[in-house]
Structures are given as structure tokens and as C-alpha cells.
Amino acid sequence: MGEPKELLKEWIKGIGKPIYWLEGDEPFFIEQILNYAEAHVLSDAEKEFNFLTLYGKDTTTLQVLNACKRITINATKKLVIVKEAQHLKDLDLLVSYLEHPSLSSLLIVDYRNKKLDGRTKLMRLIKEKGVYFLSKKIYENELPKWTESYIKSLNLTIEPKALGLFVENVGNDLYRIKNEVDKINVNIYDKRKVITIDDIVNCVGVSREFNIFELQNKLGKKDWADALVIINYFKKNPKVAPTPLVLSSLHNYFNKLLIASSCGPIDDKTLSQKLGVHIFFVNEYKQAIRHYNRKDIETVLILLHGFNLKSIGIATSATDSGELLKDLLVKIMYSVKK
């Protein structure tokens, strides 16, 4: 998944393709590309007469084509962006245009949350004459790497434990991840360029002791008493760790334990790659599987599935999320071996 500047660098050099087709279910990357194109393809002077943004709900494919064929004014190129293009009708009209496109026009089509039929002539021409970009959701185990990569793009680094704490508590919303990292960047007054746990605690609003990351750690050690203290904190402060986020994180954690328990004797680097975690945390997973055998882990995963259903009101009349988490802890405690 390339950076927007990489995707558009040929066009900016004047040798780009006539159409860039952006589709998929992750809007973050599509908007990155659109924002970069708006900022860098044309100069401010060129934009006045040669930049047009259209919306699929309010326009037609014919109007899009007319915009692409329009002559440039005081410039050698023009930029046409179509947002919400999934609402456009008569997309087949693009076929004749792409067979003989305007070489001075860059048409960027934002076709998010939908996919064009790959068997059509239109898709074949898009891939042959233009650039096709599929924006896919990032898997949970890819979030630490993506977050760390974004942090590095700001010329920052992050301590491994701080990264783990951040990812577990912020979730998989890339917009929120970016905004929280940007906020931390602004608040690092001493310009030390290293994000620490203190930064996560102070800027993201995560408790150093009472967070999902620490709950996982306590459960991994079967430290039931401390796990209960954390859950009671969540009960009193529901906005700190919403129950769906807690259950999702615990499911991911025990699923990684299941993978670790199946790997046998392998080196830490390979295990970190299989688990999708920083090598710094591998030892914690190795210690946890000393407390849980494979049957224990499978039992916990089944319990988590059942409690996830309860959290959304299925098979229970309980509405107190904090009590659900306490019940879950008791079930885990009595279902796995000491």
C-alpha cells in the first residue's frame, strides 16, 4: 500500500496516467490520495480554472467526461476529482473516453465502499490505461506496524510498550490513530522524538495501570485479583474501555495465544511475525502459554464469543457492561486449570 506521493509521482512529473480509480472499504487511504492530489497536482494559480470536484449524487458521467475534455486555461494540465462515484449511473460511458483519453486531464474517481466488476471492459481499460488502487481495511495484527510506520513518517519513534498500550486502547480507526499521534507530536515539547508511556497516558487519556493492555497481561499471568481491580475500574469509568472494545481486544489476545501454543519451539523473531506483535512482547506470550494449555485457550475463546453476544443483548437480559466483564472473569477463572 504505497504512499499517495508514490502513487501520483509520475503524474506530477507530467507523465502520469489519465485515470486513477480508487475503490475499497477503507476511506482513510482514499482520502489521503485525494488530499495529496488536491495539494500537489496543480499550483494555486493553475487550480483557479483547471481544478474541478464533482459528486456522484449531483452529477452525471457525461458531465464528468465533458469536464475532462474541456481545454486547459493558463496551464498544461487539469484535475477532475469525482467523489461518491459509486452513485454515478452510465459508467460504461467511460469506456469510449478511456479508449482515447485527454492526455492533459487527470481524472481521479473515488468509488469507495464498493467494487467495480473486474470482468467488465471498463475495469480492463482502467487497469490498462490508468492506475487502479484498492483500499483495504488493515487487519488487527497489522495495526502496530502501520501505527509505527506513521509515527516514523513524523520523524518520531515509540517505545514498544507504549506502542502496545496505544494500539490496544485506541482501536482500529485509522483516523483516530492519526489524530492521536498528531496530538502527541504537538505535545512533545522537549523534541526528544521518542514517544513514551507517559505520552500515551497524558495525551490519549489512558490510565497507566487500568487499561486493556494491563488487563491482558494480568489474565495472561492468571493474576485474577489484579484483573478484577482493572475490571472494577472499567465498570466505574465505562468511557475509558467500552465493553465491546475490551471483548474484541481479549479475543485477539487469546487468539494470538492459540497461535503461539501451536507454533512449537521457534525463535522469537519468527514468533513475533506469526503473532503480528513487536518482538518486545513475545516473552509475555510465551509466559502466558505456560499458564494456559490449548484446551484452556479454546475454552476462553468460546466464553468470549458467548459474552460478546451477551454484550449486544443476545441470550441475556443484563444491561450492566461492568457486571458482564466481572462475570466473564469468574467464568474464565473457574473454567481453566490453576
**What integer pLDDT is reported at residue 218 of this predicted model?**
93
Per-residue pLDDT band for 191 (boundaries 50, 70, 90) equals low
pLDDT over 60 at 196, yes or no: yes
Q: Is the pLDDT of residue 122 over 90?
A: yes
Q: Kindly report the pTM of this predicted structure.
A: 0.76
pLDDT(206) > 90: no
**pLDDT tens digit string along 211-252?**
998 999 999 999 999 999 999 998 888 888 888 889 989 999
Q: Which CATH number fits domain 4-135: 2.60.40.10, 3.40.50.300, 1.10.10.10, 3.30.2010.10?
A: 3.40.50.300
Predicted pLDDT at 254: 95
Using CB atoms within 10 Å of the CB of residue 192, give its burial: 0 to 12 exposed, 13 to 18 middle, 19+ buried: exposed
Residue 338 has pLDDT above 60, yes or no: no
Q: What percent of the chain has pLDDT over 90?
A: 49
More confident residue, 9 or 285: 285
Q: What is the pLDDT of residue 6?
A: 76
CATH architecture of 140-204: Orthogonal Bundle (1.10)
How many angstroms separate the most distant Cα atoms in the chain? 77
Assigned CATH for 212-335: 1.20.272.10
| pLDDT digits 0-9 by tens, 253-281 | 999 999 999 987 888 889 888 888 888 88
Separation CA 305–CA 2 (nearest Å): 36
Q: What are the extents of the domains in the chain?
A: 4-135, 140-204, 212-335
Q: Band of the pLDDT at 1, cuts 50, 70, 90?
A: very low
Asked whether this chain's domains 4-135 and 140-204 adopt the same fold, the reply is no
- E strands along the chain, which residues? 19-24, 51-55, 78-83, 105-112, 131-135, 157-158, 194-195
Q: Closest Cα partner for 137 from 83, 173, 85?
A: 173
